[in-house]
Amino acid sequence: MSIVKVIVCGSCGKMGREAIKTVSKEENLELVGAVDLDNTGKDIGLITQNQALEIYISNDLEFIISNTAPQVMIDFTAPAVVKEHIYTALQNNVVPVVGTTGLTNEDIEEINTWVHRYETGAIIAPNFALGAILMMKFSSIAARFLPQVEIIELHHDQKIDAPSGTALKTAQMIKAEQVKYGIGDASDNKPEEIEKLNGARGGKIEDIHIHSIRLQGKVAHQEVIFGGKGQTLSIRHDSLDRSSFMPGLVMAIKEAVGLKKLIYGLENLIEF
Same domain, 13 and 48: yes
Domain of 215, in residue numbers:
130-239
Whether omega before 163 lies within 30 degrees of 0, making that bond cis, reads yes
Same domain, 186 and 202: yes
Query: In whole angstroms, what is the distance from residue 271 CA to residue 39 CA?
Result: 40
Same domain, 144 and 210: yes
- pTM (predicted TM-score): 0.91
Same domain, 166 and 65: no
Same domain, 101 and 179: no
Same domain, 247 and 118: yes
Same domain, 93 and 190: no
Same domain, 206 and 152: yes
Q: What is the pLDDT of residue 185?
A: 65
Same domain, 107 and 134: no
Residue 21 DSSP symbol: H
Instruction: For residue 118, give the CATH number of its domain.
Output: 3.40.50.720
Task: Specify the pairing of strand 220-228 against strand 148-155.
Answer: antiparallel
Sorted by sequence, the CB contacts under 8 Å of residue 52 that are 6+ apart come out as: 43, 45, 46
Per-residue pLDDT 10s for the chain (272 aa) are: 699 999 999 999 999 999 999 999 999 999 999 999 999 999 999 999 999 999 999 999 999 999 999 999 999 999 999 999 999 999 999 999 999 988 999 999 999 999 999 999 999 999 999 999 999 999 999 999 998 999 999 999 999 999 999 999 999 999 999 999 998 765 567 788 999 999 999 999 989 999 999 999 999 999 999 999 999 999 999 999 999 999 999 999 999 999 999 999 999 999 98
Strand order in the sheet with 29-35: 29-35, 4-9, 72-75, 95-98, 122-124, 262-264
Task: Specify the pairing of strand 203-205 against strand 95-98.
Answer: unpaired
Same domain, 75 and 156: no
- Tally the domains of the chain: 2
Task: Specify the pairing of strand 220-228 against strand 231-239.
Answer: antiparallel
Query: In whole angstroms, what is the distance from residue 185 CA to residue 148 CA?
Result: 9
Same domain, 230 and 150: yes
Residue 224 DSSP symbol: E
Query: In whole angstroms, what is the distance from residue 261 CA to residue 123 CA?
Result: 8
Instruction: For residue 202, give the CATH number of its domain.
Output: 3.30.360.10
- Which residues are known catalytic residues? 155, 159
